[in-house]
């Protein structure tokens, strides 16, 4: 996205607590501390990169208060309580100036059933299909090629990127974002095996996505066998995640990419799950548990504590210790062999 800000504009926009080395120039790109050069702006978001501030060639650097550093000539430091938030504000401003909001109204190449209810100020792109009895609330944006099944409900201010599919009877809350390729409400993976033949178990429930949820690209959330698969308010889900049927996810969770949660598992509130985690079916993960990336959770017991890691998971300290000792195991075999030899020698005397 293209942009240009004079330093004065920037100060007006971001309102820093302190300005050091105020000179007059404009900035036109954002980069990390080590990559930014003239006319670029950078920031210190993580204290571990503090040493990079001294060598950064950035024209403007956003820094936390209390850092004892002096800008170079032709450099300006803007100090904030939280420089990441200040950068976010700048980015939001740039985004606002560059973002192409789809036109309000229904594109003539969309196919909307006559029974669909559409609110005020809705944008429906080309090649969108909306089936019978769906309800689309105010200010919703449905981009090109989305498929909205029968009886689906979409709450106000939600955004569906191109080629999202929401299958029959699923319910999407307000201010929900579904990224491209997301599929909400395919059948859950349920079969009854009789004499080696897998008979499909009908999946007659739906998916309920509560308010303020984001669902990442190509993620799949299956409809319930009966009742609901549910994602709670404010939960954010990354790309290529699989949520099985009848999974219940609480509020304010973060679920990183390529994680899978098997059927009928319940996840509490504010649970944080790293990437590529696998969680077995029919288990309960309580509130505020954190699960390290690539872990596999076969069950949960309170004595495991709140931070888990490993395959299958252990309490984080046990896992970290195991991973350190793992490389010393060959040596342990040697030590035991030596002990056996010493003892044998001793006994043979």
- Which residues form the catalytic set? 245
Decide whether 22 or 328 has the Cβ nearer to its own copies: 328
Shortest distance in whole angstroms from residue 138 CB to its own copies:
21
Decide whether 22 or 198 has the Cβ nearer to its own copies: 198
- Kindly write down the DSSP assignment for every residue of 136-188, as one continuous string: E-TT-EE-TT-EE-TT-EE-TT-EE-TT-EE-TT-EE-TT-EE-TT-EEEEPP
- What 3-state class would DSSP assign to 248? strand
262-291-205 Cα angle (round to 5): 25
337-339-341 Cα angle (round to 5): 70
Structure tokens at 311: 């395959």
The residues near 133 (Cβ < 8 Å, ≥ 6 apart) are 113, 115, 116, 150, 151
Decide whether 63 or 167 has the Cβ nearer to its own copies: 167
Largest distance between two CA atoms of the chain: 98
Closest by Cα among 227, 273, 260 to 246: 227
Decide whether 140 or 159 has the Cβ nearer to its own copies: 159
Shortest distance in whole angstroms from residue 240 CB to its own copies:
5
Shortest distance in whole angstroms from residue 229 CB to its own copies:
13
Shortest distance in whole angstroms from residue 303 CB to its own copies:
12
């Amino acid at each position: 996205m293209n942009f240009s800000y004079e330093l004065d504009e920037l100060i007006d926009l971001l309102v820093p607590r302190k300005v050091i080395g105020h000179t007059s120039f404009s900035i036109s790109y954002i980069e990390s501390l080590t990559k930014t050069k003239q006319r670029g702006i950078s920031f210190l978001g993580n204290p571990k990169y503090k040493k990079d501030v001294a060598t950064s060639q950035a024209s403007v650097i956003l820094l936390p208060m209390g850092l004892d550093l002096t800008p170079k000539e032709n450099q300006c430091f803007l100090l904030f309580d939280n420089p990441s938030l200040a950068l976010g504000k700048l980015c939001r401003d740039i985004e606002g100036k560059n973002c192409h909001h789809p036109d309000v109204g229904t594109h003539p190449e969309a196919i909307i059933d006559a029974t669909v209810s559409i609110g005020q100020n809705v944008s429906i792109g080309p090649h969108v299909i909306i089936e019978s009895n769906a309800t689309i609330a105010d200010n919703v944006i449905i981009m090109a090629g989305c498929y909205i099944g029968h009886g689906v409900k979409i709450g106000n201010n939600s955004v569906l990127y191109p080629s999202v599919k929401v299958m029959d009877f699923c319910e999407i809350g307000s201010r929900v974002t579904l990224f491209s390729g997301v599929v909400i409400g395919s059948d859950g993976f349920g079969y009854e095996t009789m004499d080696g033949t897998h008979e499909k178990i009908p999946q007659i429930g739906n998916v309920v996505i509560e308010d303020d949820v984001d669902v990442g690209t190509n993620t799949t959330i299956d409809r319930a066998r009966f009742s609901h698969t549910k994602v709670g308010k404010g939960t954010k889900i990354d790309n290529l995640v699989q949520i099985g049927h009848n999974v219940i996810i609480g509020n304010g969770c973060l679920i990183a990419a390529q994680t899978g949660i098997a059927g009928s598992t319940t996840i509490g509130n504010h649970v944080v799950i790293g990437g590529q985690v696998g969680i077995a079916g029919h288990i309960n993960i309580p509130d505020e548990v954190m699960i390290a990336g690539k872990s596999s959770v076969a069950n949960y017991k309170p004595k495991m504590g709140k931070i888990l890691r490993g395959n299958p998971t252990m309490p984080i300290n046990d896992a970290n210790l195991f991973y350190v000792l793992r490389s010393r195991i060959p040596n342990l075999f040697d030590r035991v062999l030596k002990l056996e030899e010493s003892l044998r020698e001793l006994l043979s005397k």
